C-alpha cells in the first residue's frame, strides 16, 4: 500500500515517514500543496496536513477529491469541532489532530482503507499451486491430501492466500489473525509459520520477506 504524506514540517514528516515505512507501507512525501497535487496520482491513501506553506490545505483536499476517490486523512494542529467538520465537508475520510501517535495513525489508516476498499472477493475454494484453501469448510489440502491445521494456522494461511505473491506485513498479520491492537513481539507468528510450513510439507510455499513479513508463493 502506497501512502502520500503531505507535510511541510521536516521535524514531523521525517519520523512519520520512517515509522510508516517500518510498519510496511511505501511512503511518498510532499512538502507543499503543489507537490501533493503532482504526487497524488497512484497512491492508495493521502495523509494531508492542512497547514501548508503555499496552498490552503482545504483547497488541496478539495482539489484531490475533485479528481480522485483516494482516501484522505486530514491532519490538523487544532482539534476544534469546526476543523473536524470542515475536513469532512471537504471530502476527507477521517481527521486526526496533532500531536498524534504513530499507532493511532496506523489504526486510522487501516480503518479508512478498509472502508474504502471494495467488497473483498474472498474466494470460498481457492487453488494456489498444489494448495487448496476451502474457506467455507476451513479445510486445506496439498495435492488433494487434507492437512490438519490449528485455527490460527488456518487463518494465517487464509490471509496470505487472499493475494498470493503479495507480502503481508507482520503487523497486519498480527492485527488480523491475533489481536487488532497487537503491539510487541511477534515471535508467536514465527512459531506458527514454522509449524504451517512443516504441515504443508513444502517450506518454500510461505516465503519470508526479511524484516517485513510473509507471502504465499503464487505458484
Ligand atoms: Ca504544516
**The pLDDT of residue 130:** 94
The confidence score (pLDDT) of residue 136 equals 86
User: What pLDDT digit, counting tens, does each position of 136-158 carry?
Assistant: 889 999 999 999 999 999 999 99
pLDDT of residue 125: 87
pLDDT tens for residues 56-81? Answer: 988 999 999 988 889 999 988 776 66
Q: Give the start-to-end residue ranges of the domains of the chain.
A: 2-116, 126-216
Same fold, 2-116 and 126-216: no
Q: How far is the CA of 83 from the centre of ligand 1 (A)?
A: 15
User: What stretches of 14-107 adopt beta strand conformation (E)?
Assistant: 26-30, 45-49, 72-76, 94-97
Residue 14: its pLDDT value, please?
A: 95
* Model pLDDT, residue 119: 54
Q: Is the N-terminal amide bond of 71 cis, ω within 30° of 0?
A: no
Cell 505473491 sits on residue: 165
Cα of 47 vs centre of ligand 1, distance in Å, is 12
Say how many Å lie between the CA of residue 75 and the centre of ligand 1: 9
* CA 117 – ligand 1 centroid, Å: 29
What the block records as the C-alpha cell of 148 is 490438519
Stretches in the chain below the pLDDT threshold 70: 79-81, 83-84, 118-122, 180-184
Report how far ligand 1's centroid is from the alpha carbon of 70 (Å). Answer: 21
Q: What is the pLDDT of residue 103?
A: 87
Cα(27) to ligand 1 centroid in Å equals 18
Q: In angstroms, what is the span from residue 1 Cα to ligand 1's centroid?
A: 24
Helix/strand/coil (H/E/C) assignment for every residue in 130-181: CEEEECCCCEEEECCEEECCCHHHHHHHHHHHCCCCCCEEHHHHHHHHHCCC
Give the Å distance between the CA of 29 and the centre of ligand 1.
Answer: 13
Question: What integer pLDDT is reported at residue 120 of this predicted model?
Answer: 54
Q: How far is the CA of 177 from the centre of ligand 1 (A)?
A: 36
- Give me the pLDDT at residue 178, please: 84
CA distance 205 to 98: 43
How far is it, in rounded angstroms, from Cα 144 to Cα 70? 42
Place of cell 494465517: 156
For residues 75 and 49, give the distance between their C-alpha atoms in angstroms, rounded to a whole number.
Answer: 4
Q: If you measure from the C-alpha of residue 46 to the centroid of ligand 1, how many angstroms do you get, rounded to a whole number?
A: 15
Say which CATH superfamily domain 2-116 falls into: Response regulator (3.40.50.2300)
Q: Both ends of the chain: CA-CA distance in Å?
A: 23
Quick one: CATH architecture of 126-216? Orthogonal Bundle (1.10)
Q: Report the pLDDT value the prediction gives residue 121, as an integer from 0 to 100.
A: 57
**For residue 171, what are the CA distances in angstroms to 100, 139, 148, 157?**
19, 25, 26, 15
The number of CA neighbours under 13 Å toward the Cβ of 157 is 32
10 alpha carbon – ligand 1 mean position (Å):
9
Rounded to the nearest angstrom, the distance between the alpha carbon of 49 and the centre of ligand 1 is: 6
Amino acid at each position: 500500500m502506497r501512502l502520500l504524506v503531505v507535510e511541510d514540517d521536516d521535524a514531523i514528516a521525517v519520523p512519520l515517514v520512517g515509522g510508516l515505512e517500518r510498519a510496511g507501507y511505501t511512503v511518498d512525501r510532499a512538502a507543499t500543496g503543489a507537490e501533493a497535487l503532482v504526487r497524488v496520482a497512484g497512491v492508495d491513501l493521502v495523509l494531508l496536513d492542512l497547514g501548508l506553506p503555499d496552498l490552503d490545505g482545504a483547497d488541496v483536499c478539495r482539489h484531490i477529491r475533485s479528481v480522485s476517490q483516494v482516501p484522505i486523512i486530514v491532519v490538523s494542529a487544532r482539534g476544534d469541532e469546526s476543523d473536524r467538520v470542515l475536513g469532512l465537508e471537504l471530502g476527507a475520510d477521517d481527521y486526526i489532530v496533532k500531536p498524534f501517535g504513530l499507532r493511532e495513525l496506523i489504526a486510522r489508516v487501516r480503518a479508512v482503507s478498509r472502508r474504502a476498499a471494495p467488497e473483498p472477493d474472498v474466494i470460498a475454494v481457492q487453488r494456489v499451486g498444489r494448495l487448496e484453501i476451502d474457506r467455507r469448510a476451513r479445510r486445506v489440502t496439498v495435492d488433494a491430501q487434507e492437512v490438519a491445521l490449528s485455527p490460527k494456522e488456518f487463518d494465517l494461511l487464509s490471509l496470505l492466500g487472499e493475494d498470493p505473491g503479495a507480502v503481508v506485513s507482520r503487523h497486519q498479520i498480527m492485527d488480523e489473525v491475533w489481536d487488532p491492537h497487537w503491539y510487541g513481539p511477534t515471535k508467536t507468528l514465527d512459531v506458527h509459520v514454522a509449524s504451517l510450513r512443516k504441515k504443508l510439507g513444502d517450506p518454500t510455499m510461505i516465503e519470508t520477506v526479511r524484516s517485513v513479513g510473509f507471502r504465499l508463493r503464487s505458484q
